[in-house]
Amino acid sequence: MQWLVTGGAGFIGSHLVDRIVDAGDSVKVLDDLSSGRLEFLAHHEGNERVAFVKVDLRDLEATAPHFEGVDRVVHLAANPDIRLGTRVTDTDLQHGTVATYNVLESMRRHGVAEIAFASSSVVYGEDAPLPTPEDHGPCIPISLYGASKAAGEGLIGAYVGTFGFRAWVFRFANIIGARGTHGVIFDFIHKLRATPDNLEVLGDGRQEKSYMLVEDCVDAMMHIIGQHNVPFTLMNLGTEDTCSVRRIAEIVIDVVGVNAGISYTGGDRGWAGDIPRARLAIDRLVASGFQPSAASEAAVRQTAELLLREILAEHD
């Protein structure tokens, strides 16, 4: 089978490419390398089952030809920095919504009908019950990143309903692990390297979210994609527990091995549009026969260790 993975040189994408190769399939990676890195795919160099194309998904005419001969698309490409939307308001529209339309339209032009999409827990907004099931409504995101994910889900629904596509939409918890290029753990390590005696935490530290290892995330996707016999599958991907930002700060300080105090900027959230508390109901995932290997706190500790190693290696 010929896969195409957008954002395949990125954090989650490069792990998914590993799994596709492990499964014996071929994969074409489309990435603009804005946050993805070729080095994340370096271990596949010389493997003719892995192809890489640098392309800007905002450009439909440049994007579409690469969908020729593809059987299945996994659309992961997006702006990874949720906070950016508070300063630059059109990034998620262009790199999220418009890019997703261009991917779907490229598929339609070339008769490709299967798509998996990385949506996010942030589509649920901030008033959802916890844990949040897939059938929660209404979904009113409070960030432009969340708006672009909700828009992507709707576009995919339209291509399923209008053009006979088949889709798997995954609403991700916070996905963490090796090759991370952003996020709270990544930020904390960098902050502690700059000022080892104090870690400044955005908000009051009581924000509490679920964390899932990237390996569990891509294993779950591979487990679900192709399994369900309905045109549209919607599934939360996460873990059953949460970890507070305060606890993450303690773990990262411990892993980095510094004697730092923690100061809080205050307020119930990191920034306008941040969702203070998030936990996904993963009953559907578990019922499908998949169980995450690590809970939130273990995932956080493991990720802190891996990212510290990567960051130290990079700066050697």
Six-digit token string for 260: 């730092």
Between the alpha carbon of residue 154 and those of residues 53, 78, 140, 149, 281, the distances in Å are 27, 16, 13, 9, 21
Q: Within 10 Å of residue 54's Cβ, how many Cβ atoms? A: 12
For position 260 contacting a copy of itself by CB under 8 A, the verdict is no
Q: Which is nearer to a copy of itself, 1 or 163 (CB)?
A: 163
- Alpha-carbon distance 212 to 217, whole Å? 7
Residue of 21, 76, 98, 112 that binds a copy of itself (CB under 8 A)? 98
Q: How far is the CB of 130 from a copy of itself (least distance, A)?
A: 15
Q: Is the peptide bond before 141 cis (omega within 30 degrees of 0)?
A: no
Work out the widest C-alpha separation in the chain, in whole angstroms. Answer: 58
For position 138 contacting a copy of itself by CB under 8 A, the verdict is yes
Identify which range of 41-49, 72-80, 142-150, 282-290 contacts a copy of itself by CB under 8 A: 142-150
Q: Which is nearer to a copy of itself, 93 or 258 (CB)?
A: 93
Q: How far is the CB of 209 from a copy of itself (least distance, A)?
A: 16
Work out the burial of residue 110: count CB atoms within 10 Å of its CB; fewer than 13 is exposed, 13-18 middle, 19 or more buried.
Answer: middle
Handedness of CA 293, 298, 300, 305 (dihedral sign): negative
Q: Are 210 and 279 in contact (CB under 8 A)?
A: yes
For position 235 contacting a copy of itself by CB under 8 A, the verdict is no
Identify which range of 25-33, 131-139, 202-210, 211-219 contacts a copy of itself by CB under 8 A: 131-139
Residue of 29, 118, 150, 201 that binds a copy of itself (CB under 8 A)? 150
Residue of 162, 257, 313, 315 that binds a copy of itself (CB under 8 A)? 162
Paired strand residues for 232: 167
Q: Are 74 and 116 in contact (CB under 8 A)?
A: yes
Residue of 25, 81, 105, 305 that binds a copy of itself (CB under 8 A)? 105
* Near a copy of itself in 269-288, by CB under 8 A: 272-273
Q: How far is the CB of 282 from a copy of itself (least distance, A)?
A: 16
Report the Cα 276 to chain-centroid distance in Å.
Answer: 18
Q: How far is the CB of 266 from a copy of itself (least distance, A)?
A: 18
For position 232 contacting a copy of itself by CB under 8 A, the verdict is yes
Six-digit token string for 249: 């700060």
* Near a copy of itself in 164-183, by CB under 8 A: 164
Work out the burial of residue 181: count CB atoms within 10 Å of its CB; fewer than 13 is exposed, 13-18 middle, 19 or more buried.
Answer: middle
What is the contact surface with a copy of itself in residues (CB under 8 A)?
Answer: 85-86, 89-90, 93, 97-98, 101, 105, 108, 123, 125-126, 134-144, 146-151, 153-155, 157-158, 160-164, 232, 234, 272-273
